[in-house]
C-alpha cells in the first residue's frame, strides 16, 4: 500500500476514535450541553480520509473539493455502495459547522458512527485488503 494511503487510513481511524470519544465522554466534559453534534463533523472527515485513501491507492487521485469527491462516489464502485451513508454524514457535519442551534442526541451521534461510518470503513478497508486500524 502507498504511504499516502496509509496516512489517509490512519487519519480516518484517528477521527473515528475521536468521534467515539466525544460520544463516550460527552456528558462528562463539564459542558452545559454535550457537543454530540461535533461527532457528525469528525465522523464526516473520517469518511473523507477513507475515500481519499482509496482514490489515492487505486488511481493516485487527490480530490480538491467535496464536489469532486462526490462525483467519484456517484460513479465508481465500491464508493457508490455507501454514498447515502457518506451524504448523511456530510449533511450532519455541515449542520454542526454552520447551522445555529443544531444539536444531536447521543443515540443519533452513536448511529452516525456505528452504522454510517462503520459501513464506509468496512467497504474501504475491504477494498484495500486491510483490517480497520
CATH label, 3-128, candidates 3.20.20.70, 1.20.120.330, 3.10.450.350, 2.40.30.10: 1.20.120.330
Q: Where are the domains of the chain?
A: 3-128
- pTM metric for this prediction: 0.95
pLDDT (tens place) for every residue of the chain, 133 residues total: 999 999 999 999 999 999 999 999 877 877 788 899 999 999 999 999 999 999 999 999 999 999 999 999 999 999 999 999 999 999 999 999 999 999 999 999 999 999 999 999 999 999 999 999 8
Distance of alpha carbon 108 from alpha carbon 8, whole angstroms: 26
Q: Indicate the burial class of 24 (C-beta count within 10 angstroms; 0-12, 13-18, 19 or more).
A: exposed
**Residues in Cβ contact with 17 at an 8 Å cutoff, skipping those fewer than 6 apart:** none
Distance of alpha carbon 120 from alpha carbon 33, whole angstroms: 29
Amino acid at each position: 500500500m502507498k504511504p499516502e494511503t496509509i496516512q489517509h487510513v490512519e487519519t480516518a481511524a484517528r477521527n473515528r476514535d475521536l468521534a467515539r470519544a466525544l460520544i463516550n465522554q460527552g456528558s462528562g466534559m463539564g459542558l452545559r450541553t454535550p457537543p454530540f453534534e461535533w461527532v457528525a463533523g469528525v465522523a464526516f472527515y473520517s469518511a473523507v480520509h477513507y475515500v481519499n485513501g482509496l482514490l489515492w491507492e487505486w488511481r493516485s487521485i487527490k480530490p480538491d473539493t467535496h464536489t469532486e469527491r462526490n462525483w467519484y462516489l456517484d460513479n465508481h464502485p465500491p464508493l457508490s455502495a455507501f454514498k447515502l451513508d457518506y451524504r448523511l454524514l456530510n449533511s450532519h457535519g455541515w449542520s454542526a459547522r454552520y447551522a445555529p442551534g443544531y444539536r444531536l442526541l447521543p443515540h443519533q451521534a452513536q448511529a452516525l458512527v456505528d452504522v454510517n461510518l462503520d459501513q464506509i470503513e468496512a467497504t474501504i478497508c475491504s477494498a484495500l485488503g486491510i483490517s480497520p486500524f
